[in-house]
A and B are shown apart, each in its own frame.
Chain A
């Protein structure tokens, strides 16, 4: 299927991670346009008009976020969140590894728009290659005069640094990211104050996702109308979906928002594996509730997916087919949250530990009928009672799996074994 790429331009242009190739294909032209044709406020308006929403998962309108910065003369920061660690999501990874210059260009434009004097990319610890690619791109941008003092004679200056985290999912939460970036333990901060008011080193700070910022040069180049011509009125533009699980072609797909889920799975990802049927889909990364096959025609935009009972999230689409044991899959995902809970707040720290053990026991055939009720009650004691969204994120799949597939859980209890014969998850704990 031939398509035009705006974000994953590496798919069209080989070696676009190199400065010369990027420049030869119109690279940093958007930066020149932004610096010469726009005042910072006009760029904020442009992004507001484009309707671009945060691609990290929450979908908060980017232009509005930029507009929250107080005009009090304090030094401002732009921080780019590249701590992509949500199971099933690997879109930012492709951008930083294969098309890093577009991100760097986006950061410079966004810094100009938000009047940030310093910018950081907080890169997930495991992304060594990505961090090296980013560092190289940043060095090349400095060499070309795109970063540093008085960029392209505009009088605008910004410095950009790449910072590697130590491998913690929680640091994808913006305030934990800022703590980690400041050199402290990556625990989420109390909000308010929000980063726009008191962020990095207490200064006004914008934290944006990699994909979000990568959209910015394209919006400058093609205009807000172009962006709003795709998707819906409330969810315009393009988005990268990472498809994984039981499909023929698991990969990143850059498609307009509001493309039906069925189209993403069948037309792009080659459909579910031959001989199998879709059992459920996690449409937006491991934190969101399951969608059943009857929702496959849901358009992939923020509002429609929410209405269907899940969330668009980060766009990590995990397809589960009829060979998957729902108990095992749930246990595996909940275990991820147990491992990644920072330990700060009680319900998340203790609840994810407890749920993992109970799910593990059920999967091994050692569960009881009461366990199922206990599990739901633990989930209720976590839900809405944690310090940050991680605790709630651990419940998305569990609660929907218990709702849609309770019979499978009961079968495990009744038969004292996994009816699917799955041994994949034999010892989740320890």
Chain B
């Protein structure tokens, strides 16, 4: 630790701390443009000039590390003149178009000029003219005249994300930020440069001229698009969310968002948003629909007794709403058949659930079936951050496709999804054959043939055991992995953290509300529906046809139920089976708690009104309670934070019982030429966005580049014919080097109709005629 004095106050900070950060600890403001803690020092803007005793000149506080006994002055004549000078320089070529600048009022150039700058400028010469409102891509605009050349954006894309798509061009006063070869930046992290830009140079295209600081409201919220649950700020105006910004949390989160999250806020007022109540395919009043549904519930209960109504939670509801559904089901509808919609079979006990802090300390990271870049993009950035600080980070991928990538290099072990648990079990057996539970684990798969050499299996097992701090990301596809992970955590005496990447985004919140989120639970509920034990289904955001891995079960249950009630934001694929479609309030319209993949509780704020007849869950259950003439105690306020430790869910309990054997995977049909694999892709999470349309592709399925070449698929993708057991469908495909040959990757829960009809895929062929897009 280093002790120094800043403006007469003593402070002790770790070695290597820069003066600006040491000053910040004391609450002393040292203005900066180019410096950003996540990006490190650059020393370009010269805004942070401070005086250090015994140094002949002013020094930049962002590039000067503290030393023992250093005496720093951030005030005084020399410093003030230095700052004034720098601000005057920054302003000479800055267009003073603040009145029409989106950043006006939120701008560090304005703030610092007001605080430290000269009252008036002396510059009388012509200003340099540059490009205004040029595109970085469809979502981000650049005004090169307003740019102060702090290079935060360039460094973020190049050094931090590792996708060098922005650069400086020209030199001296003609220098501009632009894209490589003047082509649109394609990274899914480009929107962060808007937040990073200290001035009005990088602007959000969809927010362009949409709001001013005095006519907008900003609400702390969390992004609802994937289980990361990024902390963010929603900007609202006139009952529309018109912007989402990252919200840094000191010492924990830089506030990065992916473009899916940043720009995908418009699903609430998308043309597809359900705003009317539909009963038996006819639009009706909200009151009528509510009455009808209540009547059906009463009728069902009267006829078939308690437990004859099944409730399934999906979507992006808050934990409080899940609690209301659970409570309503139990107290009023007399049913404990409440489940969470799942699209994979895996479940992770909270005891094994790691946090993002584990990623910042990990020396080994294993991707089990998941490519975080696609499924949980900001986790990829968190790992990039780790890689910047710890270049020896070992990255291992286990799954049916390559999961490492150029920006996250590592080693891939290619095994089928159904073999993942076997691979892990055998790796543990090879590296720690006497470990507790290990022999039980491999009991029925000792001779199971894996496509990986014994040496590689053992090396992988050794890597799992040797890791000082092991973090695993798991897609939940292979349910038997839960067993393996528990044994692994028991074997290792060092930190072992698992981060589940599967959805629904708030499943942990639903679990906190008392609903069992395991796949077995929803499967049992639907089996009961199929056999007629449950007569009515209430699907709260759940879309069985889209999400349930067992499509046959979904369809049979839906067909068998007397009544299917579905509360949704956008039309579900279950539509043909639905008796009542209820428009429901969603993220941004209801305040409540979200629990993300690290088990952290965050409050999502309500900033806008739900459109049309859309009602919050609370309104529905309250009305039904009244119609049932039953007082069901909405005043019993349940608080998810009560059982949490701080803002993290409790990791206690879930004691692991004796180890269970990994089940032997069934043999694959050798006659099948193609293997279909699924993966989470945040772009295809089912929430529509007009803003993101330029980023969307019809060609969401992927094949290896070799197969793409054989199928005549061009650079941007194309259509191929898929011959399946059920006939021929046209599917949109593109090439992806992560996919192995003879494998067709499709995004899990794709809303593309054909994605639901690929069972028994025989082969893909080049179509005779390619339909125009």
Binding site for B on A (CB under 8 A): 168, 170, 185, 187, 190, 338-347, 349-354, 357-358, 361, 370, 374, 377, 380-382, 384-387, 429
B476 within 8 A of A: no
Segment touching A, from B121-129, B353-361, B493-501, B682-690 = B121-129
Q: Are A357 and B125 interface neighbours, CB within 8 A?
A: yes
Contact B148 A353 (CB under 8 A): no
Q: Closest Cβ of chain A: how far from B44's Cβ, in Å?
A: 5
B170 touches A346 (CB 8 A): no
Contact bitstring B115-155, A, C-beta under 8 A = 1, else 0: 00000001101101000000000000000000011010000
Docked-complex contact A374 and B44, CB < 8 angstroms? no
A-B contacts besides A190-B41, A351-B89, A429-B125, 7 pairs, CB < 8 Å? A342-B171, A345-B45, A346-B148, A349-B149, A349-B172, A381-B85, A381-B88
> A187 to chain B: which residues have CB within 8 Å?
168
Chain A: minimal CB distance from B174 (Å): 7
Contact B172 A338 (CB under 8 A): yes
CB neighbours of B56 from chain A (8 A):
384
Contact of A387 among B43, B89, B123 (CB under 8 A): B43
Considering only CB atoms, which chain B residue lies closest to A351 in the complex? B89
Closest to B168 in A: A185
Q: In the complex, A346 Cα to B150 Cα: how many Å?
A: 9
- Is B71 among interface residues, defined by CB-CB distance under 8 A? no
Cβ-defined contact, B128 with A353, below 8 A: yes
A367 to B56, CA, bound (A): 34
Question: Are A343 and B85 closer than 8 Å at their CB atoms?
Answer: no
Whether B43 and A381, one on each chain, are in contact in the complex, defined by CB atoms closer than 8 angstroms, is: no
Confirm or deny: B63 has a beta carbon within 8 angstroms of a beta carbon on chain A. Answer: yes
Q: How far is the CA of A356 from the CA of B43 in the complex (A)?
A: 24
14 A-B residue pairings within 8 Å (CB atoms)? A187-B168, A190-B41, A338-B173, A340-B172, A346-B148, A349-B89, A349-B172, A349-B173, A374-B122, A381-B81, A381-B89, A384-B56, A386-B46, A387-B43
**B173/A343 in contact, CB under 8 A:** yes
A-contacting residues, B67-108, CB 8 Å: 81-82, 84-86, 88-90, 92-93
B173 touches A387 (CB 8 A): no
**For B697, what are the chain A residues with a Cβ–Cβ distance below 8 Å?**
none
Residues in B neighbouring A345, C-beta threshold 8 A: 43-46
- The reply to whether B172 and A353 form a contact with Cβ atoms under 8 Å apart is yes
Nearest 3 pairs between A and B by C-beta?
Answer: A381-B85, A343-B175, A350-B89
Which B residues are CB-close (under 8 A) to A385?
46, 49, 57-58, 82, 85-86
Q: Which residue of A lies closest to B151 (CB)?
A: A344
Instruction: Tell me the minimal C-beta distance from A10 to chain B in angstroms.
Output: 34
Q: Interface size for chain B: under 10, 10 to 19, 20 to 34, or 35 or more residues?
A: 35 or more
Among A343, A370, A374: residue with most chain B CB under 10 A: A343
The verdict on B167 contacting chain A, using a C-beta distance below 8 Å, is yes
In the complex, which of the residues B44, B49, B93 has the most CB atoms of chain A within 10 Å of its own CB atom? B44
Contact of A354 among B41, B82, B89, B170 (CB under 8 A): B89
Interface status of B13 (Cβ within 8 A of chain A): no
Query: What residues of B have a CB within 8 angstroms of the CB of A185 in the complex?
Result: 167-168
Residues of B contacting A346 with CB < 8 Å?
Answer: 44-47, 86, 89-90, 148-149
What is the minimal beta-carbon distance from A183 to any residue of chain B, in angstroms? 12
Q: Are B93 and A344 in contact, CB atoms less than 8 angstroms apart?
A: no
| Chain B residues with CB below 8 A from A386, complex form | 46
Q: What is the distance, in angstroms, from B161's C-beta to the closest C-beta of chain A?
A: 17
Contact A190–B43 (Cβ < 8 Å):
yes
Taking CB atoms, residues of chain A closer than 8 Å to B41 are: 190
Q: Is A190 a contact partner of B63 (Cβ separation < 8 A)? A: yes
Q: Does any Cβ of A come within 8 Å of B42's Cβ?
A: yes
Q: Which residues of A contact B123 (CB under 8 A)?
A: 354
| Contact B167 A361, beta carbon cutoff 8 Å | no
For A170, the chain B residues whose CB sits under 8 A away are 171
Complex alpha-carbon distance, A188 and B750, angstroms:
49
Interface residues of B in 560-594 (CB under 8 A from A): none
B residues 142-195 touching A (CB-CB < 8 Å): 148-149, 151, 167-168, 170-175
- Interface pair A353/B92, CB less than 8 Å apart: yes
B122 and A341 contacting across the interface, CB-CB below 8 Å: no
CA distance A338 to B174 in the complex (A): 10
Q: Which one, A353, A382, A384, contacts B173 given CB within 8 A? A: A353
Provide the bound-state CA to CA distance between A350 and B86, in Å: 9
Give the distance in Å from the alpha carbon of A344 to the alpha carbon of B41 in the complex. 13
Nearest CB of chain B from residue A314's CB, rounded to whole Å: 22
- Chain B residues positioned under 8 Å from A382 (CB to CB): 85
- B44:A347 contact, CB within 8 angstroms: no
Distance between B335 CB and nearest chain A CB, rounded to angstroms: 65
Which A residue's beta carbon lies closest to that of B150?
A346
**B82 contacts which chain A residues (CB < 8 A)?**
381, 385
A264 to B314, CA, bound (A): 88
A139 vs B128: C-alpha distance when bound (angstroms):
46
Task: State whether B58 touches A384 (Cβ < 8 A).
Answer: yes
How many Å lie between the Cα of A21 and that of B85 in the bound state?
58
Contact present for A341 and B171 (CB under 8 Å): yes
Assess the B92–A354 pair: CB atoms within 8 A: yes
Which chain B residues lie closer than 8 Å to A387 at the CB level? 43-44, 46
Q: How far is the CB of B158 from chain A (nearest CB, A)?
A: 10
Contact with A along B527-569 (1 / 0, CB 8 A): 0000000000000000000000000000000000000000000
- Which residues of chain A are within 8 angstroms of B45 by Cβ–Cβ distance? 345-346
Closest CB of chain A to B201's CB: distance in Å? 14
B314-348 CB contacts (< 8 Å) to partner A: none
- Determine if A190 and B42 form an interchain contact, defined as CB atoms under 8 angstroms apart: yes
Checking A342, A347, A357 against B172 with a beta-carbon cut-off of 8 angstroms, the contacting residue is: A342
Question: Which chain B residues lie closer than 8 Å to A357 at the CB level?
Answer: 125-126
Closest to A387 in B: B43
Q: Which residues of A contact B63 (CB under 8 A)?
A: 190
Shortest distance between the CB of A175 and any CB in chain B (Å): 12
Name the residue on B nearest A337 (C-beta): B172
B34 to chain A, nearest CB (A): 9
What's the Cα separation between A100 and B170 when bound, in Å?
Answer: 33
Question: Would B46 and A339 count as touching, CB distance under 8 A?
Answer: no
- List the A side residues contacting B89 at CB < 8 Å: 346-347, 349-351, 354, 381
Chain B CB within 10 Å — which of A187, A341, A353, A374 has the most? A353
Most chain B beta-carbon contacts within 10 A, residue among A349, A357, A380, A386: A349
